[in-house]
Amino acid sequence: MPRKKLPIGIQTFAKIREADYYYVDKTPFALKLVDEGTVYFLSRPRRFGKSLFLDTLAELFAGNEPLFRGLHCHDKWDWEKKHPVVRISFAEGVMESRAGLDARIGNILAENERRLGVPEGEGGIPDRFIALIQAAEARFGQRVVVLVDEYDKPILDNLGAPDLARAMRDGLRNLYSVIKGQDAHIRFAFLTGVSKFSKVNIFSGLNNLTDITLDAGYSDICGYTEADVDAVFAPELDGLDRDTIRHWYNGYNWRGKTVYNPFDLLLLFQKREFRPFWFETGTPTFLVDMLTERKVYLPALLEMESSTELISAFEVGDISTEALMFQSGYLTIAKEENLGGNLRFTLTYPNREVRSALTGNILGRWVENPQKAVQSRFALYKALEINDFDRIREIFFSLYAGIPADWFRKNDIDRFEGYYASVFYASFAALGLDIVPEDVSRQGRLDMTVKFNGQIYLFEFKVVEDEAEGKALQQIKARRYADKYRALDQPIHLIGVEFSKKERNVTGFEVEVG
């Protein structure tokens, strides 16, 4: 199979097809959507291919048959029907006022009027949108298709200013409410975004909206599956370890097939090295601020329980940790259970990229000097390679000493053993190591297990009033936490770590071979 061009950052279907770029055929999903409904909503994280899928739908409904030759839909679509397509996107720029949003909407409607060759509408936004839909139907003799990209971005860009975010929400509702009233003139509508705001607050009674976000059959509507990678990108795999690719970038799941983030894989194939490409394109400042403010116990993010309601609830001023992390792509569904008609989800990090990059970013925010956190991370790795436990103790002592005293006072977080454990955990997780927090055995629950370099490291944390008491190491031995790993026939290290409330630092660090 010959190599093709990598469609990095390309969201235009025609360009991909005409210039012979790699393309994963998503037209089976398009046909299914058209056959089964009319108005759809899909939430996916940024850079997952939502815009490209919308552009594919636009070309399909416009009847651009040559672009689809060789694809699944080609002999299954009526190319004689050409529908007018109204396209709305808020992907570009940041709107900082309600007036700015209304002006942007006006420009969007004007661009659609020009492209579709209909008269410029009059009146407010709803009246003008209605006129556009009806005039386009009359001119083309076919009902209209409405495609909305990044429907929620004006809200998300202003979450730090709740009043402004609510004003943006109201302005968008003013636009989207038209879709319901114009149902008779609309053949198909598809809205995409990162978040999922409630129908009441954003879509104003759009009760014919079908939300496919958590529909197992559409889990891979965006992103690349394992089969896609092996079949479409086979020429790019030479020299790259398949298991490493999977470990770094696969794992996103919406109750169906797991997928890779396309942006990550395309950059991997271009650069030929493993890096957190997706994470680096947008540091989640709001998310890190929220996790810090809520004193989230970081190891718990490896296995967080939630429900359909919690991970779907996204309201200005009332955003659950689970919803924000799931919808933005930093947590995904690991498993689900049906308990009497109620779905219980277990959420976790999708892959190494997200876990190591996010925890490293958080750690950098929790110390006075982010560069120090980076240096400590690399030093920790080198010390662990040679089991230099004295150096490991020094690294953490220095790391905790770098946390400003007023940070403790503002958050009163020194009362919580979980905070100390979170910093410890984040330091190892940022290295991408194999970690088991809250490691359960018949004897009890160990705080953290690290598997590295063919060795096992068992950590127990304790907060003491002042001087070290040796209780952390005693507990590891008394409860025989090492027993579950003896069959592996690997060196086992028992490490008791104690933190002083008075000194706010490591006061005890004992190590024994298990």
pLDDT digits 0-9 by tens, 276-300: 999 988 767 788 888 888 878 888 8
Residue pair 291/359 in contact (Cβ under 8 Å)? The answer is no
Which pLDDT belongs to residue 408? 53
Which pLDDT belongs to residue 259? 98
Beta bridge partner(s), residue 314: 319
CA dist 299 and 170 (Å) reads 38
Percent with pLDDT over 70 in the chain: 94
- Characterize 447-468 residue by residue with b for buried, 16 or more Cβ atoms within 10 angstroms of its Cβ, and e for exposed: bbbbeeeeebbbbbbbbbeeeb
pTM of the model: 0.90
The H-assigned helical ranges of 69-185 are 98-116, 125-140, 153-156, 162-181
| CATH class in words for 360-513 | alpha beta
Lowest mean pLDDT among 393-407, 444-458, 487-501: 393-407
User: What are the two backbone dihedrals, phi and then psi, of residue 338, each rounded to the nearest 5 degrees?
Assistant: -100, 110
pLDDT digits 0-9 by tens, 163-213: 999 999 999 999 999 998 899 999 999 999 998 875 556 766 666 789 999
- The CATH T-level fold of domain 25-218 is Rossmann fold (3.40.50)
78 closest CA partner among 96, 66, 60: 60
Other CB atoms within 10 Å distance of the CB of residue 197: 22
54 closest CA partner among 22, 85, 95: 85
Which pLDDT belongs to residue 254? 96
Which pLDDT belongs to residue 201? 64
CA dist 219 and 224 (Å) reads 10
pLDDT digits 0-9 by tens, 106-153: 999 999 999 999 999 899 999 999 999 999 999 999 999 999 999 999
At 448 the three-state DSSP class reads strand
Q: Write out the H or E segment, with its range, that includes residue 492.
A: strand 492-500
Residue pair 242/214 in contact (Cβ under 8 Å)? The answer is no
User: What are the two backbone dihedrals, phi and then psi, of residue 347, each rounded to the nearest 5 degrees?
Assistant: -100, 150
Residue 493 structure tokens: 């290290």
Which pLDDT belongs to residue 379? 95
Which pLDDT belongs to residue 405? 61
Residue 415 structure tokens: 């009362």
Domain with CATH 3.40.50 in the chain: 25-218
Q: Which of left, alpha, beta for 374 (phi over 0: left; psi -120 to 50: alpha)?
A: alpha
295 closest CA partner among 315, 319, 321, 333: 321
The H-assigned helical ranges of 13-150 are 13-18, 27-36, 50-61, 98-116, 125-140
Lowest mean pLDDT among 19-33, 377-391, 424-438: 424-438
Residue pair 213/42 in contact (Cβ under 8 Å)? The answer is yes
Domain with CATH 3.40.1350 in the chain: 360-513
Residue 225 structure tokens: 């599956």
188 closest CA partner among 280, 14, 72, 57: 57
Give the confidence band of 406 by pLDDT, cuts at 50, 70, 90. Answer: low
Beta bridge partner(s), residue 493: 457, 513
CA dist 29 and 57 (Å) reads 10
Which pLDDT belongs to residue 439? 86
Specify the higher pLDDT residue, 79 or 409.
Answer: 79
366 closest CA partner among 403, 415, 408: 403
pLDDT digits 0-9 by tens, 214-272: 999 999 999 999 999 999 999 999 999 999 999 999 999 999 999 999 999 999 999 99
CA dist 5 and 52 (Å) reads 16
- Characterize 369-405 residue by residue with b for buried, 16 or more Cβ atoms within 10 angstroms of its Cβ, and e for exposed: eeebbeebbebbbebbeeeebeebbbbbebbbeebee
Specify the higher pLDDT residue, 341 or 351.
Answer: 351
Which pLDDT belongs to residue 407? 54
Give the confidence band of 496 by pLDDT, cuts at 50, 70, 90. Answer: very high
Give the confidence band of 414 by pLDDT, cuts at 50, 70, 90. Answer: very low
Percent with pLDDT over 90 in the chain: 68
Give the confidence band of 472 by pLDDT, cuts at 50, 70, 90. Answer: very high
Strand 39-43: give its sheet, edge to edge. 85-89, 144-149, 186-193, 39-43, 209-211
Which pLDDT belongs to residue 349? 95
Please give the average per-residue pLDDT across 420-446, as a whole number: 87
Specify the higher pLDDT residue, 182 or 373.
Answer: 182
Which pLDDT belongs to residue 413? 44
The total number of residues written for the chain in this structure: 514
DSSP structure class, residue 233: S
Residues near 51 by beta carbon (within 8 Å), at least 6 away in sequence: 11, 89, 91, 149, 150, 192
CA dist 466 and 222 (Å) reads 53
